[in-house]
Amino acid sequence: MSDRTFDPTTWLDSFRETFASVHKAQQEGFKAIERMARFQYAVAGDYLEAGIAQTQAALTAKTPVELLAKQTEVGTQLGEKLKSRAQEFSTLASEVQSSASSFATETATRATASAKKAA
């Protein structure tokens, strides 16, 4: 049976390295949450603008044909905005997934390196 000496410096360094990647992951997670909140705020703003435009169209239209034309135009504009927001969301989700994947790889690499170092 081999006797290993307890080295607190090596043990603490191993934990520092491990928790450094967790700290980085927390920061990236908070950034992703902030970006998602800003994205949702922008989508809500798009809906608000569309609602205001619909109201203005209803109040300013003189004939039903004019009202229908303005509402169609507002609906088309909202559809285009939401289409671009959907693409933006797809990009956002892809970046967050990539960040999480790189965190997992980095953590595994550090854990393996610190295990080899401790051994």
Whether 23 is covered by a domain: the verdict is: yes
Domain, as residue range, for 30: 8-118
- Report the C-alpha gap between 53 and 73 in whole angstroms: 10
Q: What pLDDT sits at residue 53? A: 95
- Residue 28: inside a domain, yes or no? yes
- Judge whether 114 lies within some domain: yes
Distance CA 68, CA 43 (A): 24
Please check whether residue 51 lies inside any domain of the structure: yes
Q: What mean pLDDT is reported for the chain?
A: 86
**Residue 3 is assigned to a structural domain of this protein:** no
Instruction: Give the whole-angstrom CA distance, residue 31 versus residue 26.
Output: 9
Give the separation between CA 81 and CA 18, rounded to whole angstroms: 43
Q: How far apart are the first and last CA of the chain?
A: 15
Q: What is the pTM of this model?
A: 0.71
Asked whether residue 2 is domain-assigned, the answer is: no
* pLDDT at position 118 over 70: no
pLDDT at 64: 93
Domain count, the chain: 1
- Is 1 part of a structural domain of the chain? no
Whole-number pLDDT of residue 79: 96
Q: Can you read off the two tokens belonging to residue 7?
A: 């080295």
pLDDT greater than 80 at residue 11: no
